[in-house]
Amino acid sequence: MSSQRLPEIDWLRGLAVVLMFQTHAYDSWLAPFAREGGFYATSRLIGGYPAPLFLFVAGIGLGLLAAARHRAGKAPRPVARELFSRALEVFGYAVLFRLAMYAAGGFRMPGDLLRVDVLNAIALSMALCAPGLGAANPRSRAAASLALALGVALLTPLAWDSWRPAGWPDALVGYWSGRVPGAFFPLFPWAGFTALGAAIGTALAARPGAEGRVAAAAALAGAALIPLALALDRLPQVYPVYDFWWTSPNYFFVKCGIVLLALGLAFGWARAPWAAWPSPLRQMGRTSLLLYWAHIEIVYGGLVVPAWRKALDVPQATAAMLALAAAMLALSIARERLGRR
């Protein structure tokens, strides 16, 4: 998904890539004894943020694209159709990725073909955002996106624990509930991050030249949202099943606050004295889909370093993770150079 080449958005996507590397590397390579204690627990907590960042950035790109099409004079329905076609394109990548993983696994686990993974979530959440972003008025687009984010958050506990049509297969239920096997990224709550990003992208596009102030305001809102959400969590809950870490709207709001703070950090970093220096994060952010695809095979596949699976201590896994990041940076640079040629 294009970031309209805002370097701050590339940096934010690159941050998600690096956090993803540590999450998957420690998850795959640490031995059972190394998973005891606070280090691995902290890694897992950090691991809850790469996906929200990827979804958020996809939403920003979608909001920027919609604004560009409206400025060019396109009517609302063609804009919405184009955004929907972008979502279908990403879903095609998701299908290809699952086919590739199935082949890399020796065609032994056909159930993996139906796994609801992060690319599936990005694609379908983009599709959900498309109608609202078709509106001609920027305020209407932002309001529709924020309403979608809020609605997804509030409905998540019900979607996971209160609604499953009889006889529906797990592969389909997994698109709205994470209670079924293999459903790691159901639309509830993950689509909410894309919708939030669409609202931010709309706001950034509506104030050309003032993007830094928009990001600063978003970061301040994020800083206020975190304690507010934690305070709301202490109130009596109205849901039949309340699961803070998985379905709670309050934890979703905490994550939104952290994502908005990361946006402010990205814009602040881009205005620092060192902003003109070469940036590994921006570099990897420009090729994030390729790096996602490549690193999954290295970390979880059976072709590159299968002997490392659940066999390393923390220092060994950390060294391996740093080597992985260096290799992915080299791959990113090579990909861009080949593309220019």
Per-residue model confidence as pLDDT tens digits over 226-242: 999 999 999 998 999 99
pLDDT at 153 over 90: yes
Task: Identify the pLDDT of residue 2.
Answer: 42
Confidence of residue 340 (pLDDT cuts 50, 70, 90): confident
Most trustworthy range by pLDDT among 3-17, 181-195, 251-265? 251-265
pLDDT at 105 over 90: no
Cα(165)–Cα(35) distance, rounded to whole angstroms? 38
Task: Identify the pLDDT of residue 4.
Answer: 52
Per-position DSSP letters for 177-242, written without gaps between them = -TTSTTBSS-HHHHHHHHHHHHHHHHHHHHSTT-HHHHHHHHHHHHHHHHHHHHHHHTSPP-SSS-
Task: Identify the pLDDT of residue 310.
Answer: 95
pLDDT at 3 over 50: no
Please tell me which residue, 188 or 109, carries the higher pLDDT value.
188
pLDDT at 300 over 70: yes
pLDDT at 179 over 50: yes
Q: What is this structure's pTM?
A: 0.94
pLDDT at 1 over 70: no
Task: Identify the pLDDT of residue 15.
Answer: 97
- Give the pLDDT mean for 263-286: 92
pLDDT at 280 over 90: yes
* H-only helix segments in the chain: 7-29, 38-46, 50-71, 76-104, 118-133, 138-161, 170-173, 187-206, 211-233, 249-270, 280-285, 288-300, 314-340
pLDDT at 75 over 50: yes
Residue partners of 107: CB distance under 8 A and separation at least 6: none
The mean pLDDT value of the chain amounts to 93
Residue partners of 8: CB distance under 8 A and separation at least 6: 211, 215, 263, 266, 267, 269, 270
Task: Identify the pLDDT of residue 296.
Answer: 93
- Give the pLDDT mean for 168-179: 90
Residue partners of 10: CB distance under 8 A and separation at least 6: 3, 281, 282, 285, 286
pLDDT at 90 over 90: yes
- Give the pLDDT mean for 73-97: 95
Beta-carbon count within 10 A of 98 CB: 18
Please tell me which residue, 276 or 76, carries the higher pLDDT value.
76
- Residues shown for the chain: 341
Cα(17)–Cα(332) distance, rounded to whole angstroms? 12
Task: Identify the pLDDT of residue 22.
Answer: 96
- Give the pLDDT mean for 117-135: 96
- Give the pLDDT mean for 273-301: 92
Closest among 331, 239, 301, 292 to 93, alpha carbons compared: 292
